[in-house]
Amino acid sequence: MARRKGPEPRTEQPGERISDPVPRVDAVAKASGSALYLDDIRVEGVLHARIVRSTRPRAKILSVRYPETPAGYAFIDARHIPPGGANGILMIRDDWPIFADREVRFRGQTIALVVGPDRGMLATLAQQTVVEYEDQVPVFTIEDSLVCSGGPIHDTDNLFADYHLRKGDPEAAFRAAAQVVEEEFRTGWQEHIYMEPQGCLASWKDGRLTLQASTQCPYYLRKAVAHALGCGKENVRVIAAHTGGGFGGKEHYPDVLATAAAVASHALGRPVKLVLDRQEDIQTTAKRHPSWIRIRTALNAAGGILGMDIDTRLAAGAFETCSCIVLQRSIFTSTGAYDIPNVRVRGRAFATNVVPSDAFRGFGAPQALFAIEMHMDHLARRAGVAPVDFKRRHFLSKGSLTVTNGRIYDEVLLDAMLERILAASDFRARAASARPGHGIGISFFNHGCAFTGSGERDLIKGRVGLRALADGHVRILSAGVDIGQGLSTAFRKVVARVLGIPLSRVLFDQADTDLVPDSGPTCASRSIMIVGYLLQEAAKKLKGCWTEGAEQEVWQEYSHPPHLVWDAERLAGDAYPTYGWGINVVEVAVDPLSFEPEVRNVWTIYDVGYPIDRLILEGQAHGGMSQALGYACLEKLELRDGVFLQGTMADYCIPTSLDFPPIRTELIENPYPFGPFGAKGAGEIVFDGGAPAFAAAIQQAIGAETSALPLTPERIRALAREAAG
């Protein structure tokens, strides 16, 4: 293995560290209610839009009859796509039509927009639209999709992807096995519930489409809208409004709304604003992929692991979105924090007649981590070893071969992190003394930072600029969006620190594709690590040529660490440049009468390289854990006839301030040479491990193994009853 050369060590000012908290630059405007989110934007002559939706999960459209429209109202559908445009929402593929015209593949799919000045009238007109369908047999489960019930929805086999990984010699391992343990794990949908519902404002004027949107990825929107209108990307301008939460839900999904609104604006020559109401948002926007993962482990006579065979199945929904990439991350995370020799992994993403699943914090990793963490926990119990001790024997370390036959190039501090969290939580004593109905669980996990494989180099090719103004201000030019993760503060801190200027002299506006280069999407735990590093390097360049009172510009292009090796065809090599690492401990009590779980204590420790701002990291750790515990036990989406039963905020329960206790957080430093000041990605690792730690705690409390999420009181009761016999 070639030893790679890191860049020069970062310099720190004596005394104050960059990680010392500063008030976020946007906090006052947001708290005051003066920051403008998408629906707050007022534009002269704007028309509102409402989506006319399919009421069937799978059907051919035979006819669509619109009611008579009063003056000032119009229905917009596939007929209004301009020549040269396309009726396809270009994400990775454009298989998802902007307006369904021949068939519908999920309940709630867009058939048309009705546009006009009064939203009450729009609701009425949408309701009065009559669509004639020829129903087909819908597919709601992976099982039904596997056998292509009702004929394939997609291609000939309903598979958006079928991937295979192979490490070592799994066949030999299974031949040599004294024992094989097989288990299956299931997780359900999760809805993002960003507090700001999705929305956009499209305005076609003088041959250009200007789009304002609640979004994580302005350049994705530009690409999709240009494709829809056939107008060339240079004729599309996207401006990110303040975005009230994303979590992956505003990574690709905004393309669905923006393309429809853009077509409408182009057809009518008026600005068109499309904002979802919450119930629409819950029912019809992208969700976390449900998973069904089977793990078979070959054990030797002493109970040691010889190899694993993992079959990962994700329910992708009606169209592809980024399911293939979610699946990739899921299978790359199959063995989690462990070095398992001899692994065979198969991953499939299945088409179903449900709203398409897409990015959601963790992006396939939480599903894989739940499976591997619970499985290792169960193997430990079968071996008569405490899960902590069983799991730690298998930790990955620097130099380990990953499941894609890549390398862990950086120090892995899991052992040191484990010692700290065991001490902080008094884990062993609590585990030993837990009375019936009480339990404590621990999870270990990692998260590959940034885009898979060579994605940063070959697909994104991120670029940033710094513009020094004559008055001494420096403007950051990047398309990164602050969705609450503190990016607008963290980026400024990096630049200010390198240049040695006060934070207040660094400017960073909300992304406008006319004004900033494409530094890549705001996702994949890449913004600080990849884009922040580009800013650090750009700032060093600028510092080196700084001329007082002059206007200067420097640009920085992404440069791929040369030691990384990746074969995108075979999915082999270094899937990620580096990893974040985490350990979570959750302590619970289960009510003996109602089986309601009460989370008593939570401890977390993370290696995210180095925190650009400790308070930002702390807030992310709290929020990630809250969302993970919601995923673990509160958030439930059940499907009936293609509609989610929990379709309102009353019924889809996210945690309130009274549901969970304060969350303890700790960080361990492990600087990464290609991250700014050593920082790695953090946005997703803070979510990844909460559910398995919770589930392990529930297991101890009820004396039964768990293998599915969410662990609602209903499920806990059923497991406890089964265990009681």
Site for another protein in 14-53 (CB under 8 A): 21, 23-24, 26-37, 39-40, 42, 48
Token reading at 146 = 């596997």
Give 160's contacts (C-beta < 8 A, 6+ positions apart): 154, 316, 320, 323, 324, 327, 349, 350, 351
- Is the CB of residue 137 less than 8 Å from the CB of residue 147? no
Stretch that binds another protein, among 65-73, 244-252, 329-337, 509-517 (CB under 8 A): 244-252
If one asks whether residue 163 binds another protein (CB under 8 A), the answer comes out as no
Least separation in angstroms between residue 306's CB and another protein is 41
The alpha carbon torsion through 126, 128, 131, 137 (nearest 10 deg) reads 80
d(CA 242, CA 214): 7
User: DSSP class of residue 589?
Assistant: E
Given the complex with another protein, which of 121 and 181 has the nearer CB atom?
A: 121
Answer yes or no whether residue 666 interacts with another protein by CB under 8 A.
Answer: no
Please give the DSSP secondary-structure letter assigned to residue 362.
Answer: T
Q: What is the rounded distance in angstroms from the CA atom of residue 295 to the CA atom of residue 275?
A: 42
CB of 29 to another protein, least distance (A): 8
Q: Per rule CB under 8 A, is residue 82 in the interface with another protein?
A: no
With CB under 8 A as the contact rule, which of the stretches 118-126, 299-307, 382-390, 433-441 interacts with another protein? 118-126
CB 114 within 8 Å of CB 53: no
For another protein, the binding residue among 57, 138, 218, 244 (CB under 8 A) is 244
Q: How far is the CB of 593 from another protein (least distance, A)?
A: 4
In the region spanning residues 417 to 476, those forming contacts with another protein, defined by CB under 8 A, are none
Round to the nearest angstrom and report the end-to-end CA distance of the chain.
55
Using the rule CB under 8 A, which residue among 101, 311, 426, 659 binds another protein?
Answer: 659
Contact between 480 and another protein by CB under 8 A: the answer reads no
Minimal distance, residue 544 CB to another protein, in Å: 34
CB of 123 to another protein, least distance (A): 5
**Region for residue 321 given its phi and psi (left: phi exceeds 0; alpha: psi -120 to 50; beta: otherwise):** left
Binding window for another protein (CB under 8 A); candidates: 382-390, 399-407, 518-526, 647-655: 647-655
Nearer to another protein, 33 or 502 (CB): 33
- What is the footprint of another protein within residues 704-723 (CB under 8 A)? 713-714, 717-718
To another protein, the closest distance from the beta carbon of 663 in angstroms equals 6
244 vs 692, which CB is nearer to another protein? Answer: 244
Binding residue for another protein, selected from 459, 469, 653, 704, defined by CB under 8 A: 653
How far is 416 from 606, CA to CA, in rounded Å?
11
Least Å from the CB of residue 185 to another protein: 22
Q: Choose one: 174-182, 314-322, 385-393, 593-601; the region binding another protein (CB under 8 A).
A: 593-601
CB of 255 to another protein, least distance (A): 20
Q: Any residues with CB less than 8 A from the CB of 64 and at least 6 apart, and which? A: 77, 111, 112, 129, 130, 131, 132
* 120-139 binders of another protein (CB under 8 A): 120, 122-123
Give the nearer residue to another protein in terms of CB position, either 229 or 663.
663
Residue 351 makes CB contacts below 8 A (sequence gap 6+) with: 139, 145, 152, 153, 154, 155, 158, 159, 160, 316, 317, 318
Task: Name the DSSP class of 678.
Answer: G
47 φ, ψ to 5°?
A: -110, 140
The residue range among 87-95, 115-123, 432-440, 694-702 that interacts with another protein, by the rule CB under 8 A, is: 115-123
Positive or negative, the CA dihedral 681, 684, 690, 696 is negative
Smallest distance from the beta carbon of 258 to another protein, in angstroms?
19
- Site residues for another protein, 481-540, by CB under 8 A, read 483-486
Residue in 477, 616, 711, 719 binding another protein, rule: CB under 8 A: 616
From candidates 236, 374, 529, 663, binder to another protein by CB under 8 A: 663
Detail the DSSP E strand segments found in 614-657: 639-640, 643-644
Residue nearer to another protein on the CB measure, 71 or 593: 593
**From candidates 87, 215, 367, 627, binder to another protein by CB under 8 A:** 627
Residue number with CB closer to another protein (73 or 566): 73
The answer to whether 352 and 319 are in contact (CB under 8 A) is no
Nearer to another protein, 351 or 585 (CB): 585
CB 50 within 8 A of CB 534: no
Partners of residue 213 on adjacent β-strands: 200, 240
Among 553, 638, 669, 722, binds another protein (CB under 8 A): 638
Query: Between 162 and 277, whose beta carbon lies closer to another protein?
Result: 277
User: Judged by CB under 8 A, which stretch of 277-285, 327-335, 401-409, 431-439 contacts another protein?
Assistant: 277-285
**Quick one: which segment of 131-139, 200-208, 341-349, 619-627 binds another protein (CB under 8 A)?**
619-627
Q: How far apart are CA 542 and CA 551, in angstroms?
A: 11
Q: Is 518 or 618 the residue whose CB approaches another protein more closely?
A: 618
Q: How far is the CB of 446 from another protein (least distance, A)?
A: 22
Least Cβ distance, residue 263 to another protein (angstroms) = 22
Closest by Cα among 563, 566, 577 to 526? 577
Torsion of CA 359, 362, 366, 372, to 10 degrees: 120
Q: Toward another protein, which CB reaches closer, 337 or 481?
A: 481
Query: Min. distance of Cβ 114 from another protein in angstroms?
Result: 13
Q: How far apart are CA 320 and CA 356, in angstroms?
A: 7
As a whole number of angstroms, the distance between CA 209 and CA 196 comes to: 24
How far apart are alpha carbons 338 and 334 in whole angstroms?
9
Nearer to another protein, 369 or 634 (CB): 634
Taking Cα atoms as reference points, which of 227, 215, 216, 214 lies closest to residue 262?
A: 227
Among 3, 548, 657, 724, binds another protein (CB under 8 A): 657
Beta-strand (E) ranges in 287-426? 291-299, 305-317, 343-351
Instruction: Give the span between the Cα atoms of 47 and 30, in whole angstroms.
Output: 27
**Binding range to another protein, per CB under 8 A, among 113-121, 292-300, 321-329, 413-421:** 113-121
Task: Tell me if the bond preceding 710 is cis, omega within 30° of 0.
Answer: yes
Q: Interaction with another protein in 177-236: which residues (CB under 8 A)?
A: 192-197
The interface region with another protein, picked from 169-177, 377-385, 587-595, 696-704 by CB under 8 A, is 587-595
- Could you count the other beta carbons within 10 Å of the beta carbon of residue 627? 24
Closest residue by Cα to residue 643 from 19, 53, 49, 207: 53
CB 258 within 8 A of CB 225: yes
CB nearer another protein, residue 35 or residue 181: 35
- Residues 286 to 345 in contact with another protein, rule: CB under 8 A: none
Residue placing its CB nearer to another protein in the complex, 558 or 595? 595
Q: Note whether 600 binds another protein by CB under 8 A.
A: no
- Which of 251, 618, 684, 688 touches another protein by CB under 8 A? 618
Nearer to another protein, 452 or 646 (CB): 646
Q: Rounded distance, CA 82 to CA 594, Å? A: 58
Q: Cβ of residue 21: shortest distance to another protein, in angstroms?
A: 6
For position 67 contacting another protein by CB under 8 A, the verdict is no
